[in-house]
Amino acid sequence: MKTLLLTLTMLSLSASVALGQPASLAIGSALPAGSHMLQMTDDSSQPVSDLMGPQGTVFIFWSNACRWTEGYQERVRALHSAAGGKGMAVVLVNSNDPEAFPEESAEASRAAMPGLRYGHDQGAALAKALGAYRTPEVFAFDAEGKLAYSGAIDDAPGDTKAVTRSYVADFIGGQPQTPTKAFGCRIRLPYD
């Protein structure tokens, strides 16, 4: 059984690499690309490290044109409220190419999720550094800036009423999480 699981894991990793899916940052790793600037929807430009909350940070890779992120809007607003009360930050990050996909522009982002910290990842540097591939996809860092969780927001991407486990809410509540697989639209990276 262990051999079968190891073989399946290796095949999955090989398929991810072959399909161009970046390798995800390992749990326990420090936040890379901390000096990378995000263009925020409030027209400021901020380094990723300045967006960190004192007790932790949840980066959620987002899209303005993905049906899966549309279904998560209210859940993300609730997570944002819960995190703020715990000294944590929730930051939406759009790494999609706004030139090829105008619905991913700063103007569209500003209208999509008002009131939340939302930044555009020029050149997708943060997405590449973390290994983000989907929207929505979560990378949650603890108070020391170490990756504590990566993956899905919860266990029911298609149905709010079917959620039995909210991985991000549990992280915000201080419960350790095992990484999960993100489900959603592929990030449409700009060409280098």
How is domain 30-186 classified at the architecture level of CATH? 3-Layer(aba) Sandwich (3.40)
**pTM for this predicted structure:** 0.86
Q: Is the dihedral of CA 145, 92, 71, 137 positive or negative?
A: negative
- CA pair distance 96, 136, nearest whole angstrom: 12
Nearest to 59 by CA among 115, 121, 109: 121
Taking the CB of residue 97, how many other CB atoms lie within 10 A of it? 16
Q: How far is CA 46 from the centre of its chain?
A: 17
Per-residue pLDDT of the chain (192 residues; tens, 9 = 90+): 444 333 333 334 434 443 455 678 999 999 998 899 999 999 999 999 999 999 999 999 999 999 999 989 999 999 999 999 999 999 999 999 888 888 888 788 877 888 899 999 988 999 999 999 999 999 999 999 999 999 999 999 888 888 999 999 999 999 988 999 999 999 987 764
The predicted pLDDT at position 69 comes to 92
Asked if residue 154 lies in contact with residue 166, where contact means CB atoms within 8 angstroms, the answer is: yes
Q: Where are the domains of the chain?
A: 30-186
The predicted pLDDT at position 105 comes to 81
- 150, β-bridge pairs: 139
- CA pair distance 182, 125, nearest whole angstrom: 19
